[in-house]
Amino acid sequence: MQLKHPEILWGLFLLVIPIIVHLFQLRRFKKTPFTNVAMLQKIMIDSQRANQLKKWLLLFTRLLLLASLIIAFAQPFTAKNQSEKEKETVIYLDNSFSMQARENGITLLEQSVQNLIRYADPDRPIHIFTNTYSFSEVTVGEIQNLLLDIPFTHKQLNWSDIVLKAESIFSRAPAKEQELIVISDFKENLGAPEKPEGYAGRIHFVKAGVAAVSNISIDSIQLETPNSSQKTLKVFVSGYGETGVQPLSLQNGNKLLGNSAVEFDEENSRTVVDFSLPNQTEIDGLLKVSDNGLEYDNHFFFSINPPQTINVLAINGGDAKYLERLFSDESFALNIYDLRQLDYSAIDTQNVVVVNEIEQIPEGLQNVLRTFASNGGSLIVVPAKQKENLSYNTFLSLFGSTRFSETVENVKQITKIAFEHPIYRGVFQKQVKNFEYPETNHSFTLSNPTQSILSYEDGTPFLMGGNGFYLFTAPLDENHCNFKSSPLIVPTFYNMALSSLRVPVLYETIGNASFADIDTRLDNDQVVNMTKDGESFIPRQQSFPNKVRLFFDAEPQEAGTYFAKAMDSIVSNVSFNYPRTESQPSELEIREQDGISQQESLNSLFSSLAEENEVSAYWKWFVILALLLGLAEVIIQKIIK
């Protein structure tokens, strides 16, 4: 038992007063003589005994009465150790897309919010944060409507981010006991929930319901061109649980292009559905599937824009027939000039310039090429066997510290590929280790080489560069190098050229930093706007003489097809989809740990926390005891004579 005002117990020293009064008779008695008192002797003895008992009973009654009043004013109580500390509660409420799963007809997020409003203390200030919102020092009643309107998001904080966020919210007062409550469905992308080392507070995990594990997700698409008049759209669909057969539709804007059905084999959780499309059709595409699982992955947006031509100019000093074969596709417009015939002003309108084995790079051309590269063009340099080192190194000094140094006449094999380089990203299904290596018998070494794309067996670069500047360290003449006959040459040159004008792809994924080039020209005070359904935003952008590069990172936040508008006209479409990381129903296993509790529901959690905080006060019982003792004193006075 504990006391709220223990200092009042000093009043127990007042118990000395009734003891003094009862033990010492302060009143003086006078003797009155009688002529014959022998007959009263026995009565006097009995009366003295009764009077003595009465005095002792009154003494103990008054002592207990006074002590009860003193203890009542000291306010005794009992409570657990946790109730003595001031509590600070932080609640993480998961609003990721996986919380769209339904139980008893409502989503897990709606169910969690309703339980939070129902069972949390309506008068106690708490902190609440989600993957996208934060509320500090508020009561549940104050933000009830805001909680009910919390939207779902593709963003999912992992466990370490949740802990860091909670620690930043908790005050630094050491006397406060920290309570972190995590309300989630605990999918695998949350990460292993463990108590961080040195974390002093308590953590409570509350699983948000038990939803049915079944879902269909449109994961990705791929466009193939089997012939010149037709395209095939391959739609990759995943299914989990008892999905049955579900309809899948394809729309172009509001126009229905086709219907199909999604059905999974017993052994497979993924299937492919094909749609045929006219080859030249521009499409504002939407794929839709219906299921009883998550909603966000039932829609998939994509765009097929008019083809844009990439202008390629080759400044030729050797054999350029391989360039004619590489850029024969209608996506490219190739022009080949000898150095003496080149009009420098034509470079400004190009997207790609290939310096193909010219022996010397004139100073005027160097300046024009530097301006071209700084304006967003891609520059590919293939040195000549009999090159002039001074002009080449002077030119290379405009792009960094790399220089040509020595000539190597030995045979060297090209054995290493930078698979993660943007040039080869997505080209290979797996890392190839046993292919037929191309080789050179005449190459140049570099001082201070930068990022290698292709390397020799000794680690020195054969092709290096990035961000629009690419440099070979050997001539590609067939007498000195067989790279032209290697399968690598096609994706290498093709992707180097495509990097100069990154036209919008079929779709982008929200949350992944990306960019797209729009083939348009803007005045200094003009910008490109992205619009959808009456809403718009201005992306981060960089304007070049012959294109505008749009960067997508923080925006957009909502999936859909956005129209890029410049000077009040639509110049391109860009489609965005949410990442599909929430679609799989796999769940985490939470291990038992000290300082971590697992609760079946918010009701049980708040009930257990209320029990820990409960304080039992006893002062009323001591007041009642004092009243009873006062009544007992009156009874003693009346009964014992």
* Contact between residue 268 and residue 287 where contact means Cβ atoms under 8 Å apart: no
CA angle 306-309-315, nearest 5°?
175
Q: CA 455, CA 413: separation in Å to the nearest integer?
A: 9
Domain boundaries, the chain: 2-31+48-80+617-639, 85-212+593-613, 215-302, 310-498, 508-577
Supply the pLDDT for residue 26: 47
CATH 2.60.40.150 holds for 215-302: yes
Instruction: Tell me the C-alpha to C-alpha distance, in Å, between residue 13 and each of 57, 70, 584, 639.
Output: 20, 10, 73, 30
CA neighbor of 361 nearest in space, from 407, 418, 399: 399
Supply the pLDDT for residue 69: 82
The 3-state DSSP class for residue 374 equals helix
Superfamily of domain 85-212+593-613 in CATH is: von Willebrand factor, type A domain (3.40.50.410)
Instruction: Determine the length of the chain.
Output: 641
* Contact between residue 552 and residue 514 where contact means Cβ atoms under 8 Å apart: yes
What b/e readout covers 129-168, taking b as 16+ CB neighbours within 10 angstroms?
Answer: bbbeeebeeeebeebeeebeebebbbbbbebeebbebbee
As a dihedral over the C-alpha atoms of residue 449, residue 454, residue 456, residue 461, rounded to 10 degrees, the angle is -10
CA neighbor of 592 nearest in space, from 76, 203, 39: 203
* CA R_g for the chain: 43
Mean pLDDT of each 10-residue bin along the chain, 641 residues long: 72 74 57 57 58 74 81 72 67 91 86 89 87 89 89 90 87 70 85 76 83 81 76 89 85 90 78 84 88 88 88 89 88 90 88 92 91 89 88 89 88 88 75 74 87 89 89 90 88 88 87 86 85 89 86 90 88 91 79 76 77 67 80 76 60
- CATH assignment, 310-498: 3.40.50.880
Supply the pLDDT for residue 24: 65
Q: CA 284, CA 254: separation in Å to the nearest integer?
A: 9
Task: Specify the amino acid at residue 530.
Answer: M
Please give the order of strands across the beta sheet that includes 535-537: 508-509, 569-577, 560-566, 529-532, 535-537
- CATH assignment, 508-577: 2.60.40.10
Supply the pLDDT for residue 228: 59
Sign, CA dihedral 384-389-393-394, equals negative
The 3-state DSSP class for residue 146 equals helix
Q: CA 558, CA 556: separation in Å to the nearest integer?
A: 6
Q: CA 195, CA 472: separation in Å to the nearest integer?
A: 52
Task: Specify the amino acid at residue 637.
Answer: Q
Supply the pLDDT for residue 563: 92
The 3-state DSSP class for residue 475 equals coil
Q: CA 433, CA 416: separation in Å to the nearest integer?
A: 9
Residues 6+ away with beta carbon under 8 Å from 549: 376, 502, 515, 516, 517, 518, 541, 542, 543
Q: CA 354, CA 315: separation in Å to the nearest integer?
A: 6
Supply the pLDDT for residue 94: 92
- CA 491, chain centre distance (Å): 34
The 3-state DSSP class for residue 565 equals strand
DSSP class of residue 478? Answer: T
Token readout for 280 is 């030249």
State residue 463 phi and psi, 5-degree precision. -135, 130
Q: CA 113, CA 133: separation in Å to the nearest integer?
A: 14
Token readout for 38 is 């022998």
Matching fold, domains 215-302 and 310-498: no
